[in-house]
């Protein structure tokens, strides 16, 4: 849809941010018959490995044309370059390219009835007429505004809406992620396989997170993340490319951005603003996975917003966080504990890769990833993993496996 240039437009909901979360929320609300504006800056591509689980592909009806690669194996690489290859049984992990995937979702929102507006959010004001979302129009440079009943802030980590509208919204831990999209090698080698994701747990690449090499069909994402100031992200990525034999591959583009590490305690302002996606902090600890959780959060935000519009009860906005954390909170807590336990030093990262050799760990990890929930049907396996986890952390298990 084309931008309208009339006087101030009126909507039920203005969604700020057109990534997977914002686009999903806009689609869901438009399908429910609400008037929706989707305000997006355009031209920004978030650094992202691009992995999406089967549950997301099924839940959100993602066409195969958006899946640029199908991953059958995950390789975990330790600081001493030992590795373990974990097969993905009974399926695959899909890979998307955010440059095209996000636009696909925005087009889908417009097809559902949302009005796409390209511009940069500046502020929210209120008066007797309602809530006004101000923005700078991209094509004209004009300052414009929209009137609405509700605002969904899906404007990413370090969200401007969170900072000014939601108590505690300015305080969110994050890593800085950086990656380079490169032309993929034309041949399979020991260091690069178009059906394998490599995750590198090495303090020389990232002292507190990890690096990655994720195939995207004709291209690949190579990058890393860190919370520590002063780390040279470009040098670390260059070292990662060198270690993987990818130095001579043509660089297509470079991207960097903050990735939140913990959901905020509060997602709404108790009135007319609800945070969602990265703005609410819903990126999985340990893995940094965000696409599925962003879309799931977009769905919960749309449901809570629709109820708020029907009942006119501000307390209904709290349902978004309650629904999301009710389904995913336990997984986030487990992943957060794993990150705190294993990402602190190379010695612990070495032990973590050793733990990944265990078949029980592999099966439960990928069952949880593929289906987005912890598997409760195998209590003995959980007990075994707990015992092995303690053994690896305390050094009772030797590091001799290759």
* More confident of the two residues 402 and 177: 177
The beta-strand segments (E) located in 171-218 are: 174-183, 196-200, 211-216
Which are the contacts of 82, defined by CB distance < 8 A and separation ≥ 6? 350, 353, 401, 402
Rounded to 10°, the helix 319-342/291-311 angle is 160
Which are the contacts of 164, defined by CB distance < 8 A and separation ≥ 6? 123, 124
334-367 tens-digit pLDDT: 888 878 888 889 999 998 888 888 777 777 666 6
The residue extents of the domains of the chain are 10-46+98-171+262-331, 69-92+173-260, 345-394
Which range (28-42, 85-99, 218-232, 384-398) has the least confidence? 384-398
pLDDT computed for residue 318 by the predictor: 98
Average pLDDT over every residue of 265-275: 97
The class level of CATH for 10-46+98-171+262-331 reads alpha beta
Average pLDDT over every residue of 60-72: 95
CB atoms within 10 A of CB 134: 15
Confidence of residue 297 (pLDDT cuts 50, 70, 90): very high
Average pLDDT over every residue of 128-147: 94
% of the chain residues with pLDDT over 90 = 66
Average pLDDT over every residue of 150-168: 95
pLDDT computed for residue 337 by the predictor: 83
What's the token pair of residue 95?
């890979």
pLDDT computed for residue 368 by the predictor: 66
Q: Is the pLDDT of residue 28 over 70?
A: yes
Query: What does the alpha-carbon distance between residue 33 and residue 345 come to, in Å, rounded to a whole number?
Result: 52
3-state helix, strand, coil in the chain (%, to 5): 35, 25, 35
Q: Is the pLDDT of residue 82 over 60?
A: yes
* More confident of the two residues 158 and 132: 132
The 3 state secondary structure assigned to the chain is CCCCCCCCEEEEEEEECCCHHHHHHHHHHHHCCCCEEEEECCCCCCCCCCEECHHHHHHCCCCHHHCCEEECEEEEECCCCCEEEEECCCCCEEECCHHHHHHHHHHHHHHHCCEEEEEEEEEEEEECCEEEEEEEECCCCCEEEEEEEEEEECCCCCCHHHHHHCCCCCCCCEEEEEEEEEECCCCCCCCCCCCEEEEECCCCCCCCCCEEEEEECCEEEEEEEECCCCCCHHHHHHHHHHHCCCCCCCEEEEEEEEEECCCCCCCECCCCEEECHHHHCCCCCCCCCCHHHHHHHHHHHHHHHHHHHHHCCHHHHHHHHHHHHHHHHHHHHHHHHHHHHHCCCHHHHHHHHHHCCCHHHHHHHHHHHHHCCCCCCCHHHHHHHHHHHHHHHHCCCCCCCC
Query: What does the alpha-carbon distance between residue 152 and residue 156 come to, in Å, rounded to a whole number?
Result: 12
The class level of CATH for 69-92+173-260 reads alpha beta
- Closest to 131 in 3D by CA, of 147, 144, 120: 147
What's the token pair of residue 399?
């590091």
């Amino acid at each position: 849809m084309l931008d309208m240039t009339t006087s101030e437009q009126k909507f039920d909901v203005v969604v700020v941010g057109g990534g997977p979360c914002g686009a999903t929320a806009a689609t869901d609300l438009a399908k429910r018959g609400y008037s929706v504006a989707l305000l997006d800056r355009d031209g920004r591509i978030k650094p992202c490995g691009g992995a999406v689980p089967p549950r997301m592909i099924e839940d959100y009806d993602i066409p195969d044309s958006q899946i640029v690669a199908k991953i059958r194996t995950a390789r975990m690489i330790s600081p001493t370059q030992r590795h373990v290859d974990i097969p993905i049984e009974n399926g695959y992990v899909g890979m998307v390219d955010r440059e095209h995937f996000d636009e696909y979702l925005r087009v889908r929102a417009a097809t559902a009835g949302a009005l796409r507006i390209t511009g940069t959010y500046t502020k929210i004001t209120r008066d007797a007429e309602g809530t006004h979302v101000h923005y700078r129009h991209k094509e004209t440079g004009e300052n414009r505004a929209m009137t609405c009943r509700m605002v969904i802030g899906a404007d990413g980590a370090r969200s401007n809406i969170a900072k000014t509208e939601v108590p505690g919204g300015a305080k969110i831990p994050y890593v800085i992620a950086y990656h380079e999209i490169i032309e993929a090698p034309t041949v399979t080698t020991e260091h690069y396989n178009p059906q394998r994701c490599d995750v590198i747990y090495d303090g020389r690449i990232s002292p507190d997170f990890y690096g990655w090499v994720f195939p995207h069909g004709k291209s690949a994402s190579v990058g890393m993340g860190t919370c520590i100031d002063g780390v040279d992200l470009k040098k670390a990525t260059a070292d990662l490319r060198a270690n993987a034999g990818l130095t001579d591959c043509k660089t297509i583009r470079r991207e960097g951005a903050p990735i939140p590490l913990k959901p905020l305690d509060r997602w709404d302002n108790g009135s007319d603003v609800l945070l969602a996606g990265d703005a609410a902090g819903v990126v999985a600890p340990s893995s940094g996975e965000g696409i599925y959780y962003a879309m799931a959060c977009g769905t919960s935000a749309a449901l809570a917003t629709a109820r708020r519009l029907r009942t006119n009860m501000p307390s209904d906005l709290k349902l978004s966080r309650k629904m999301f954390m009710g389904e995913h909170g336990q997984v986030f807590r487990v992943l957060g504990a794993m990150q705190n336990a294993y990402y602190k030093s190379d010695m612990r990262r070495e032990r973590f890769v050793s733990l990944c050799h265990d078949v029980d760990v592999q099966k439960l990890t990928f069952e949880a990833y593929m289906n987005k929930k912890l598997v409760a049907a195998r209590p003995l396996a959980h007990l075994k993993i707990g015992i092995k986890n303690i053994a690896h952390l305390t050094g009772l298990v030797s590091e001799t496996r290759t």
